[in-house]
C-alpha cells in the first residue's frame, strides 16, 4: 500500500520564518516557555569605531577643561595684544554693536587664536600690521579694536601660512559680530590703505614680538612706550581711514 506524504499545515512564509529564527546567531529556543530568547551579547567595536570614540572622549575632555576659561589657554598673548591695541588707538574694550561678555577684547582675541590655532609669530605679524596702520594714519580712532585685529590677523595668516580659512570662516572666528560683506570690505580696505605693504620678514616679526613682550607682557600697566616707525612703510597719507564699527 502506497504511503502518502503528509504536507505541512503551515504556510511557506511561516516555514521560512521558522527557518530564519533557528539560524539566528543571537537567538535560542527556551524549552520551558517555547519562546525565543535574545542574547544581550553585542559585537566588539571595530578599530574605526574605537578611534572615533577616543576622539569624542578627547574632545569632551578638552571642552570640560576650557569651559570655564574665557582665554582658552591663550591669556598671555591675548592680553598683550589687547593692551597694545588699546594703547595705540585708545579704543574701548567692547564693540559698539554688542556688549556680551565673549566680545570683551582680550576674550575676543583669545577665541580667535584658539579657533585658528595660529602661533604667536602670526599674532605678532598681525600686530606689525596694526603698527603700520597707526604709523600711516596717526589720527585714526576706531570705536573698538575688534575689527582692526581680526582684519590684520586674517591678512597675516593669508600671507604667512600655507593654508588658511575662507572669509566665511573668518566671519565665524569673529563670533558673527560682522557680516560676510563687512569681512570682505575690511580685507580690501586694509590692503588698499596700506598700499599692499603687508610683507615682512622673520627678523621684523621676532624683533617686534620681543618689544611687545618687554613692554606689554605680564602685569605691566604702563605708561607704555610709543614705538618708532621701523615696521611701517614711510609713505604719505592719501586718504582717511575708518575702522569704526
**Cell numbers found for residue 171:** 566671519
Please check the confidence at residue 3 and state whether its pLDDT lies above 60.
no
End-to-end CA distance of the chain: 106
DSSP letter, residue 103: G
Residue whose entry in the numeric block shows the C-alpha cell 569632551: 60
* Burial category of 188 from C-beta neighbours within 10 Å (exposed 0-12, middle 13-18, buried 19 and up): exposed
* For residue 170, pLDDT beyond 90: yes
Span 97-138, pLDDT tens digits: 666 667 889 999 999 999 999 999 999 999 999 999 888 888
Give the helix, strand, coil percentages of the chain, each rounded to 5: 55, 0, 45
pLDDT band at 183 (very low <50, low <70, confident <90, very high): very high
Tell me the C-alpha distance between 154 and 223, whole Å: 29
The domain locations on the chain are 71-216
For residues 7, 10, 13, 18, the Cα torsion angle rounded to the nearest 10 degrees is: -100
Q: Minimum mean pLDDT among 68-72, 173-177, 210-214: which range? A: 68-72
Can you count the helices (H) and strands (E) in the chain? 9, 2
pTM: 0.66
Q: Which CATH superfamily is domain 71-216 in?
A: Cyclin-like (1.10.472.10)
Confidence (pLDDT) at 127? 93
Amino acid at each position: 500500500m502506497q504511503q502518502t506524504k503528509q504536507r505541512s499545515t503551515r504556510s511557506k512564509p511561516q516555514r521560512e520564518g521558522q527557518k530564519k529564527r533557528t539560524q539566528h546567531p543571537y537567538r535560542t529556543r527556551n524549552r520551558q516557555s517555547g519562546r525565543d530568547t535574545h542574547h544581550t551579547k553585542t559585537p566588539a567595536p571595530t578599530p574605526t569605531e574605537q578611534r572615533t570614540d577616543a576622539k569624542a572622549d578627547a574632545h569632551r575632555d578638552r571642552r570640560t577643561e576650557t569651559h570655564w576659561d574665557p582665554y582658552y589657554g591663550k591669556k598671555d598673548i591675548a592680553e598683550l595684544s589687547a593692551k597694545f591695541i588699546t594703547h595705540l588707538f585708545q579704543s574701548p574694550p567692547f564693540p559698539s554693536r554688542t556688549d556680551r561678555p565673549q566680545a570683551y577684547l582680550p576674550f575676543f582675541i583669545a577665541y580667535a587664536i584658539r579657533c585658528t590655532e595660529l602661533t604667536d609669530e602670526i599674532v605678532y605679524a598681525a600686530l606689525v600690521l596694526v603698527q603700520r596702520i597707526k604709523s600711516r594714519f596717526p589720527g585714526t580712532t576706531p570705536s573698538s579694536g575688534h575689527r582692526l585685529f581680526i582684519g590684520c590677523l586674517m591678512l597675516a595668516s593669508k600671507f604667512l601660512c600655507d593654508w588658511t580659512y575662507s572669509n566665511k570662516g573668518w566671519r565665524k572666528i569673529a563670533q558673527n559680530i560682522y557680516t560676510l560683506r563687512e569681512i570682505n570690505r575690511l580685507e580690501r580696505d586694509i590692503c588698499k590703505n596700506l598700499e599692499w605693504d603687508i610683507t615682512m620678514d622673520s627678523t621684523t616679526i621676532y624683533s617686534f614680538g620681543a618689544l611687545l613682550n618687554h613692554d606689554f607682557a605680564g602685569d605691566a600697566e604702563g605708561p607704555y612706550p610709543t614705538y618708532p616707525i621701523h615696521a611701517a612703510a614711510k609713505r604719505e597719507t592719501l586718504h582717511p581711514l575708518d575702522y569704526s564699527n
